[in-house]
A and B are shown apart, each in its own frame.
Chain A
Amino acid sequence: MKTTGKVTGIVSNLVTVKCDGPVSQNEICYITTAGTPLMAEVIKVNGDSAAVQVFESTRGLKTGDPVEFQNKMLEVTLGPGLLSSSYDGLQNNLETMTGVFLTRGEYTAPLDHDKLWEFTPLAKAGDKVVAADWLGEVKEGWLPHNIMVPFSFQGEYTVKRVATAGNYNLDTVVAVLTNESGEDVNVTMTQQWPVKVAVKGYKEKPRPNRIMETGVRVIDTLDPIAEGGTGFIPGPFGCGKTVLQHAIAKQGEADVIVMAACGERANEVVEIFDEFPELIDPHTGRHLMERTTIICNTSNMPVAAREASVYTAMTICEYYRAMGMKILLLADSTSRWAQALREMSNRLEELPGQDAFPMDLSAIISNFYARAGMVVLNNGQTGAVTFIGTVSPAGGNLKEPVTESTKKAARCFYALEQNRADRKRYPAVNPIDSYSKYLEYPEIIAHLDERIMPGWVDMVNKTKNIIRKGRDASEQINILGDDGVPMNYHELFWKSELVDFVILQQDAFDEIDALCPLERQKYMLKLVLDICDREFVFDDFEKCRDYFKNMINILRQMNYSEFQSDKFNDFLSQLNQLLDSNGK
């Protein structure tokens, strides 16, 4: 028997319901108003009265409207067909909706239940299996998609039967399992999972031990993010957050990309819809869209669904991770999610924390970031969810609750700086304030020694030091004047400018410069550091400036040329001539 209830109070999208039976926290219910069922989630219970947040507009809702509780939490449907789909925050398929406008109460199926998938069995009768073990495989585009024992299955099961290879739709029973008490359970190609519960079904969650290549120099070279790692990008508007995130999405070394557009501009999502089907993944040569799922809850869509959208996205990532894949989750922007929490907390009349955010904001954010990570599956294979979120700090001030809470949870910090953006130094990541904690992990250091070259992390630290020294020198020059400082201050400053222009800055709109593979990053960093190791002789600071400006120009032309092409090598010999003309 389902619990039912009646609406007793309405403030915006917070509705109170008097219930006639048991309800649980985060349980889903439907409120029927004028014949339309509206989805809502329980967020507080007091006696027989439940406070629910409605995922839709509550216009026209009346006291006394009937409510039916569903005895389950907010769930997503998992199965083949998730890739290249576009969903709203509640996993309604946006493509199959009718009409120009989003219709209240229109809930569309996430997956196509008629489509046939080519199934290959992996398990056989008699196998002992537990939740998340692989039973069979279908091809989703070009990616192998494992059909697993549903995550909700507890205990050990014995495979009774697995379907033979063939084409089946989602609802076909592809396996029959026998549980410990001897009952048979059917398994199809789809399963449900509550979004706010982390998917387990793996053996262990070790520390990340390799980096994820993004093709963005300021990330890979200076502050790399680990596969299964977490990072965040805070920055005021107009600093290039979205461009940087799209660059990572286009080039990230991952099998699957999930993009959660959470409370951001609809036209930015339209750009993804427009560009991704055309773009080619540089690692596989396939269309980007084939490995991408978009969860899109733009700023004008209902606020409560915005909060759900990041969880929906994370659950889909965890599902693919259980298949032994590497997933990159990008959420833009987590501040909008925090604001959604604030709106509800406000309506619940909870005592506010800083800037009226809920007191447990920090805990909610760190719990969410903790769902990312690398895992070792039961069969020994590994999978990883790497998570990068953007944060939109109010007034561009990083001393605000969302940035501060995220800083505690995320291991990489990419601070976008207004000043760099104003000077068109893109990506506007501040090289000094930003950090990657992964550079301190011995296993990552060892991995980088092997993957790039021995002593790589020392080189990275040396590079950061050059920038730091250059900053100090530049401050002195500004205070004392060009003529008031020793010559080597100018040299230090220009060496840091060299690093800035050649390594840090990268043109996301240039066909070649946009993607810089690790091999090329290594080459360029070595080249630049060799130059920085040299000592030069200049008669005056103007000569020093002109010399370095010339050098920067040549090196930038190298960045714009195909790696080790004739053009590239021409610039290299120009550079060597220039170097031979001065210093040692």
Chain B
Amino acid sequence: MANKVYQKTFTRLEAITKATVSLKAPGVSNEELAVVDGRLAQVVKTKGDLVTLQIFSGTEGIPTNAEVVFLGEPPTLKVSDQLAGRFFNAYGHPIDGGPEIEGEARQIGGPSVNPYTRTKPSQIIPTGIAGIDLNNTLVSGQKIPFFADADQPYNIVMAQVALRADVDKIILGGMGLTNDDYLYFKHEFESAGALDKIISFVNTTEQPPVERLLIPDMALTAAEYFAVEKGEKVLVLLTDMTLYADALSIVSNRMDQIPSKDSMPGSLYSDLAKIYEKAVQLPDPNDPSKDAGSITIIAVTTLNDGDITHAIPDNTGYITEGQLYLRADADSGKVIIDPFRSLSRLKQHVQGKKTREDHSQVMNASVRLYSDAANAKTKLENGFDLSDYDQRCIKYAKEYATRILAIDVNLSLDEMLDTAWELFAKYFSPTETSIKQALIDKYWKK
């Protein structure tokens, strides 16, 4: 932080808690940054002259005579094209050994886009993963989380999605990443040769939890710069939002706020919405009928033993436009995108409109047949005899899981559709798929 002319300096603290310090400091502004004993802090409460500061890195070892310097403004990020390809910490400082960024300082956590100036999301974001593109198509301007258990390879899937997605910029917001996962992302990005379109803001488990509260706002401020000013298609990855929410509850607890459900702060919904609602599709200012920049958010919310009624996934579900689930599939031995529980709420904006006409019918038929296979398996487990149809379904399910649902497939959308038609023809008759006759006539593989 550069020194400013009007810096106010104080040297006497009135109170110290685990995360906050209080001191008499007249004339400071709300949400202003300060440096307390060399650590960054932010004003969270003012009462008369008494100011409470939240110290991002914790208060261990801070003395009552610590030097407090107020910086006169809320947290900012310097934005410019120089951001591309760089790694930053929660404060927006480079951690990759490179030089500081030159550019305009923007306050993070800025205002929302006027809903009236938004446009309806209608551009597909292809990822090559058929479990997403075919069954739960992503749309630019969408916000969608992976609801994943801790043991599932969500970060690997996210990295894959990011690198394959056809976007101009990828911005990673890593909250409480293990050092190993951080190095994994770094390695993947570097070896993909895509570093110039990737920007990372990282807080690892080695760093203080409260710092992570800055990560989403940093990432989204950078995203807004590229989407709004440069008209670029930006994909923001946020992992793990559960750790972000945990940090919120730590702060609210230290501030003596009354917890609501699952010990989370009462404002959890608004806090999460403020982040997720930054996802936006903007129209071209010169021609509103055309799309311009967009921000799409893919997040990870880790679950506690699959419990989606917990306050964090529950509030997230009310905010996001669908959710994706991963599942280990015993038949194929692969991790698949669960076709039953996953949902993309915006898929109907693009399916059959921006993709091939048979998309939605093929999707529905293939999932329905997969669900028939699930019923057949239950029958088998309960010791009932299987019909010929049941047996065909089970064979189909294995191949469908391997060739379509597995997260390691990488196909174009037309290839996915063709693969599905191939499987239909291999195991079923046209009527068993109950697809519209016109499409059968055109696409059925003879």
**Which chain A residues in 198-239 approach chain B with CB under 8 Å?**
236-238
**Which chain B residues in 52-85 approach chain A with CB under 8 Å?**
73-74
**Residues on B with beta carbons closer than 8 Å to the beta carbon of A274:** 119-120
Assembly CA distance A280 to B39 (angstroms): 60
B30 CB contact (under 8 Å) in A60, A103, A238, A356: A60
Asked if residues B269 and A336 are in contact (CB atoms below 8 Å), the reply is yes
Asked if residues B282 and A395 are in contact (CB atoms below 8 Å), the reply is no
**Residues on A with beta carbons closer than 8 Å to the beta carbon of B31:** 58-60
* A47 adjacent to chain B (CB < 8 Å): no
Quick one: closest B residue to A95, CB to CB? B116
Assembly CA distance A265 to B343 (angstroms): 16
Smallest CB separation, A428 vs chain B (Å): 14
* B260 adjacent to chain A (CB < 8 Å): yes
Assembly CA distance A340 to B32 (angstroms): 25
* A77 adjacent to chain B (CB < 8 Å): no
A97 CB contact (under 8 Å) in B116, B270, B311: B116
Asked if residues B112 and A101 are in contact (CB atoms below 8 Å), the reply is yes
**Which chain A residues in 266-289 approach chain B with CB under 8 Å?**
266-267, 269-271, 273-274
Interface residue tally on A, bucketed by range: 35 or more
Contact A238 to B343, CB < 8 A, known contacts A104-B111, A298-B277, A342-B260: yes
Chain-A contact segment, one of B174-182, B192-200, B242-250, B316-324: B316-324
Asked if residues B29 and A62 are in contact (CB atoms below 8 Å), the reply is yes
Smallest CB separation, A109 vs chain B (Å): 15
* B431 adjacent to chain A (CB < 8 Å): no
**Which chain A residues in 39-73 approach chain B with CB under 8 Å?**
57-64
A77-94 vs B, Cβ < 8 Å mask (1 yes, 0 no) = 000000000100000001
**Residues on B with beta carbons closer than 8 Å to the beta carbon of A57:** 111
* A121 adjacent to chain B (CB < 8 Å): no
A397 CB contact (under 8 Å) in B109, B228, B269, B309: B309
**Residues on B with beta carbons closer than 8 Å to the beta carbon of A480:** none
**Residues on A with beta carbons closer than 8 Å to the beta carbon of B73:** 60
**Residues on A with beta carbons closer than 8 Å to the beta carbon of B321:** 265, 267
**Residues on B with beta carbons closer than 8 Å to the beta carbon of A300:** 112, 273-274, 277-278
**Which chain A residues in 124-175 approach chain B with CB under 8 Å?**
none
Among B47, B228, B270, chain A packs the most CB atoms within 10 A around the CB of B270
Quick one: closest A residue to B316, CB to CB? A237
Asked if residues B317 and A238 are in contact (CB atoms below 8 Å), the reply is yes
Quick one: closest A residue to B229, CB to CB? A100
B120 CB contact (under 8 Å) in A63, A100, A267: A267
Quick one: closest B residue to A299, CB to CB? B273
* B374 adjacent to chain A (CB < 8 Å): no
Asked if residues B48 and A63 are in contact (CB atoms below 8 Å), the reply is yes
* A263 adjacent to chain B (CB < 8 Å): yes
**Residues on A with beta carbons closer than 8 Å to the beta carbon of B46:** 9-11, 62-63
Asked if residues B267 and A61 are in contact (CB atoms below 8 Å), the reply is no
Assembly CA distance A81 to B112 (angstroms): 26
**Residues on A with beta carbons closer than 8 Å to the beta carbon of B346:** 267
Contact A101 to B119, CB < 8 A, known contacts A299-B270, A392-B318, A394-B311: no
* A516 adjacent to chain B (CB < 8 Å): no
Asked if residues B111 and A103 are in contact (CB atoms below 8 Å), the reply is yes
* A583 adjacent to chain B (CB < 8 Å): no
Quick one: closest A residue to B364, CB to CB? A424
* B190 adjacent to chain A (CB < 8 Å): no
Smallest CB separation, B216 vs chain A (Å): 12
Asked if residues A62 and B28 are in contact (CB atoms below 8 Å), the reply is yes
Smallest CB separation, A92 vs chain B (Å): 10
**Residues on B with beta carbons closer than 8 Å to the beta carbon of A340:** 270
B contact patch SS: loop
A338-380 vs B, Cβ < 8 Å mask (1 yes, 0 no) = 0110110011000010011100000000000000000000000
Assembly CA distance A296 to B49 (angstroms): 37
Assembly CA distance A61 to B30 (angstroms): 5
Smallest CB separation, A267 vs chain B (Å): 6
Quick one: closest B residue to A65, CB to CB? B29
Asked if residues B318 and A101 are in contact (CB atoms below 8 Å), the reply is no
- Our count of residue pairs bridging A and B at CB distance below 8 angstroms stands at 163
**Which chain B residues in 97-138 approach chain A with CB under 8 Å?**
107, 109-121
Asked if residues B266 and A10 are in contact (CB atoms below 8 Å), the reply is no
**Residues on B with beta carbons closer than 8 Å to the beta carbon of A479:** none
B120-158 vs A, Cβ < 8 Å mask (1 yes, 0 no) = 110000000000000000000110000000000000000
Assembly CA distance A342 to B259 (angstroms): 11
A270 CB contact (under 8 Å) in B110, B112, B120, B267: B120
Asked if residues B30 and A101 are in contact (CB atoms below 8 Å), the reply is no
For B, the interface residue count at a CB cutoff of 8 angstroms equals: 58
Assembly CA distance A355 to B44 (angstroms): 24
**Residues on B with beta carbons closer than 8 Å to the beta carbon of A16:** 47
Assembly CA distance A261 to B47 (angstroms): 35
Asked if residues A10 and B45 are in contact (CB atoms below 8 Å), the reply is yes
Asked if residues A63 and B27 are in contact (CB atoms below 8 Å), the reply is yes
**Residues on B with beta carbons closer than 8 Å to the beta carbon of A194:** none
**Which chain B residues in 34-50 approach chain A with CB under 8 Å?**
44-49
Asked if residues A263 and B113 are in contact (CB atoms below 8 Å), the reply is no
A102 CB contact (under 8 Å) in B28, B74, B114, B314: B114
Smallest CB separation, B83 vs chain A (Å): 20
Quick one: closest A residue to B340, CB to CB? A422
**Which chain A residues in 1-16 approach chain B with CB under 8 Å?**
8-12, 16
**Residues on B with beta carbons closer than 8 Å to the beta carbon of A12:** 44
**Residues on B with beta carbons closer than 8 Å to the beta carbon of A60:** 29-32, 73-74
Smallest CB separation, B322 vs chain A (Å): 8
* A396 adjacent to chain B (CB < 8 Å): yes
B141 CB contact (under 8 Å) in A267, A296, A397: A267
Assembly CA distance A267 to B111 (angstroms): 17
Smallest CB separation, B120 vs chain A (Å): 5
Assembly CA distance A61 to B74 (angstroms): 11
A100 CB contact (under 8 Å) in B228, B274, B278: B228
**Residues on A with beta carbons closer than 8 Å to the beta carbon of B375:** none
Asked if residues B257 and A346 are in contact (CB atoms below 8 Å), the reply is yes
Asked if residues B110 and A298 are in contact (CB atoms below 8 Å), the reply is no
Assembly CA distance A63 to B273 (angstroms): 29
Contact A9 to B48, CB < 8 A, known contacts A86-B116, A346-B266: yes
* B430 adjacent to chain A (CB < 8 Å): no
Asked if residues B319 and A299 are in contact (CB atoms below 8 Å), the reply is yes
Smallest CB separation, B43 vs chain A (Å): 8
**Residues on B with beta carbons closer than 8 Å to the beta carbon of A182:** none
* B258 adjacent to chain A (CB < 8 Å): yes
Smallest CB separation, B388 vs chain A (Å): 17
**Residues on A with beta carbons closer than 8 Å to the beta carbon of B261:** 355, 394-395
**Residues on A with beta carbons closer than 8 Å to the beta carbon of B315:** 394
**Residues on B with beta carbons closer than 8 Å to the beta carbon of A339:** 266-267, 269-270
**Residues on A with beta carbons closer than 8 Å to the beta carbon of B306:** none
Assembly CA distance A361 to B296 (angstroms): 36
Asked if residues A8 and B47 are in contact (CB atoms below 8 Å), the reply is yes
Assembly CA distance A336 to B118 (angstroms): 22
* B26 adjacent to chain A (CB < 8 Å): yes
Asked if residues A270 and B258 are in contact (CB atoms below 8 Å), the reply is no
Asked if residues B48 and A102 are in contact (CB atoms below 8 Å), the reply is no
Assembly CA distance A303 to B257 (angstroms): 17
* A99 adjacent to chain B (CB < 8 Å): yes
Contact A301 to B120, CB < 8 A, known contacts A343-B270, A346-B258: no
Assembly CA distance A339 to B266 (angstroms): 7
Assembly CA distance A347 to B115 (angstroms): 28
**Which chain A residues in 306-347 approach chain B with CB under 8 Å?**
336, 339-340, 342-343, 346-347
Assembly CA distance A101 to B225 (angstroms): 12
- Contact residues of B with A, CB < 8 Å? 26-32, 44-49, 73-74, 107, 109-121, 141-142, 228, 257-261, 266-267, 269-270, 273-274, 277-278, 280, 282, 309-311, 314-315, 317-319, 321, 343, 346
The 3 A-B residue pairs whose C-beta atoms are closest, nearest first, are: A299-B273, A395-B309, A300-B277
* Interchain Cβ contacts under 8 Å between A and B, 9 examples: A8-B48, A61-B29, A86-B115, A94-B114, A97-B114, A100-B114, A265-B277, A300-B278, A336-B269
Q: In the complex, given contacts A99-B114, A299-B319, what are 7 additional A-B residue pairs having Cβ atoms less than 8 angstroms apart? A: A33-B29, A238-B343, A266-B118, A267-B346, A298-B277, A299-B269, A394-B261
